[in-house]
Amino acid sequence: MIRIANLKIGIEKAVDHDSENRALKNAVLSKIKTSSKELRSYKIYKKSIDARKKDALVYVYTIDAEVQNETQILKKFSKKGITPTPDMSYHRVTFGTDQLAERPVIIGMGPAGLFAGLVLARNGYQPIILERGDDVDTRAAKIETFWKTGTLDTKSNVQFGEGGAGTFSDGKLTTLINDNRCRSVLEAFIEAGAPEEILYKSKPHIGTDLLRETVKNIRKEIISCGGEVRFQSQVTDFIIQNGELHALVINGQDEIPCRTALLGIGHSARDTFETLYSRGIGMTPKPFSIGVRIEHPQQIIDAAQYGTSAGHPGLGAADYKLAYHSPNGRSAYTFCMCPGGYVVAAASEAQGVVTNGMSKHKRDGANANAALLVGVQPSDFGSEHPLAGVEFQRKWEQLAYHLGGENYCAPAQLVSDFLADQPSTKWGRVTPTYEPGLVFAQLKECLPDYVIATMKEAIVHFDAKIKGFAMPDSIMTGVETRSSSPVRISRDENNSANINGLYPMGEGAGYAGGIMSSAVDGVKTAEKVMQKFAPRNR
């Protein structure tokens, strides 16, 4: 096939699938100067929006096409963005020959654990997945109860349960890593029911509503391939002898033999971090970011990004990604922006408030929200202990819990009042989405001074980039502390910890950030196990 880059189509020609296909076909034929009968097939490889000219928005495509006269076209148009389509297929690793004493165990069923389990199951390794939380349906019901009543289940919540924290988010599948495994992960999501557009959109997302179904379908495939999934099964201890893993303790009582464990525990498994540290597993503190969720009307963001085209049926809800570097040496940025989304309660520990953002696939909510974060370093934590970052997070979460009334309501402040350093007294044009509810409070009482100062500078700076970002009655809700793991669990070139048989992976171990990079790290870790051991049923 040949790859044709930089094909542009006006948004009015992409209002539906059929009109988009017609426009693309005509654009391909025009680009390569060929007839319709010589174009055998084509498919979209990449699609993005170019909104630099607000009065002339266009979609920009990269197309892979199969044509009869491929050699001649490549020779004729090599200097016009037409090249051979590269090999993007996933190449399986060569299996090892060592025999597994027991079935491999995966600890945690977030993206890393889910995809490590899928790869191992598909290749005959019959993994056991242990998830401390519930299956996604039971989990969703408990989360709804928490949001409505403030009754938190510390074992099954936005952080813990089937699919991990990303299941209750926007389901973003963007990543900065360049790895062919990314495509195989997207293909697996599509096979499990995700929309095909995630394979080519420049900013793919599934949405929390569809992601829950895809996660269930991946679980079903793992089981059909000989794997096993056990919910409400928290690993509470690791039995280690002579520097090697021998067994796992489940829920403080049941012990299962285990010589090979893939550790995908997620960034909020604080009790497991403590257990690992007590058992001598190497780890170090890691930088992360803290701040708030900031909430605007989606119409404001659409207008800022799309101008007079805002609301056009060929466009979806607009997003943004912003960064600011302060003279004070700190950096602020927006993270996990959720168009048409909701600010959600994401606590996993009693007496702590944590926020996150979530969108459904259609992104049709009235508000946009994003994390507004400031980077923090281990030097900010007040201790050199490997788990000092955990205590740092916990401190601000507990202060937010107190400010919110100690019932999981969250402290909030309007942007204008935040910038003026005064309390808010009434809502404006933005209706808050956070449940169980918000309480007016000054956010400086639940965040460090340097975070507050840097966010104030950043809001003014971002308003010059996105008109309306500093809209006076936009809402800031605190606190967001779980941007990434506060620790990094040491591992070698084989992804093995300093204890033989233990393989740290994913975001919780400090090697990923988001659904895609976590899933890819899970695949890579599974490959390390496969390169060492032979399959069990082959």
Instruction: Give residue-wise pLDDT tens across range 279-335.
Output: 999 999 999 999 999 999 999 999 999 999 999 988 999 999 999 999 999 999 999
| The pair of three-digit structure tokens given for residue 214, joined into one six-digit string | 């895809």
Residues with Cβ within 8 Å of residue 355, at least 6 apart in sequence? 292, 293, 343, 344, 345, 346, 371, 410, 434, 477, 478, 479, 480
- How far apart CA 2 and CA 55 sit, in angstroms, is 32
Is pLDDT at 79 greater than 90 in this prediction?
Answer: no
- Answer whether 155's CB lies under 8 Å from 268's CB: no
- Measured from the Cβ of residue 277, the count of other Cβ atoms closer than 10 Å reads 16
Q: If you average pLDDT over residues 218-236, what whole number do you get?
A: 98
- Answer whether 227's CB lies under 8 Å from 117's CB: yes
pLDDT tens per residue across span 244-265: 999 999 999 999 999 999 999 9
How many Cα atoms sit within 13 Å of 293 on the Cβ side? Answer: 33
The structure's pTM equals: 0.95
- How far apart CA 265 and CA 280 sit, in angstroms, is 17
| Three-state secondary-structure class, residue 257 | strand
Q: If you average pLDDT over residues 79-93, what whole number do you get?
A: 88
Residue 125: predicted pLDDT: 97
Q: Quote the Cα angle for 507-104-263, to 5°.
A: 20
Is pLDDT at 538 greater than 70 in this prediction?
Answer: no
- How far apart CA 363 and CA 480 sit, in angstroms, is 21
Beta bridge partners of 376: 288
- How far apart CA 42 and CA 2 sit, in angstroms, is 9
| The pair of three-digit structure tokens given for residue 312, joined into one six-digit string | 């056009």
Is pLDDT at 176 greater than 90 in this prediction?
Answer: no
The position carrying tokens 């404006």 is 428
Considering only CA atoms, which of 4, 363, 346, 18 is closest in space to residue 203?
Answer: 363
Task: Convert 122-157 to b/e letters by CB count within 10 Å (16 or more is b).
Answer: bbebbbbbbbbbbbbebbbebbeebbeebebbebbb
| Three-state secondary-structure class, residue 388 | helix
Confidence band (pLDDT; 50, 70, 90) for 77?
confident
Provide the CA 108 distance to its chain's centre, in angstroms: 16
Q: Quote the Cα angle for 409-410-411, to 5°.
A: 130
Beta bridge partners of 244: 241, 500
pLDDT tens per residue across span 61-76: 999 999 998 999 998 8
Confidence band (pLDDT; 50, 70, 90) for 81?
confident
Q: If you average pLDDT over residues 389-398, what whole number do you get?
A: 98
pLDDT tens per residue across span 102-147: 999 999 999 999 999 999 999 999 999 999 999 999 999 999 999 9
Q: Which domains does the chain have, with CATH numbers?
A: 2-84 (3.30.70.2700), 105-284+493-532 (3.50.50.60), 287-480 (no CATH)
Considering only CA atoms, which of 279, 238, 280, 268 is closest in space to residue 105?
Answer: 238
Is pLDDT at 276 greater than 80 in this prediction?
Answer: yes
User: Average pLDDT of the chain?
Assistant: 96
The pairs formed by 177-186 with CB atoms below 8 angstroms and a separation of 24 or more are 177/516, 177/517, 177/520, 179/520, 180/88, 180/89, 180/90, 180/91, 181/90, 181/520, 181/523, 181/524, 182/516, 182/520, 183/88, 183/90, 184/90, 184/523, 185/115, 185/516, 185/519, 185/520, 185/523
pLDDT tens per residue across span 434-461: 999 999 999 999 999 999 999 999 999 9
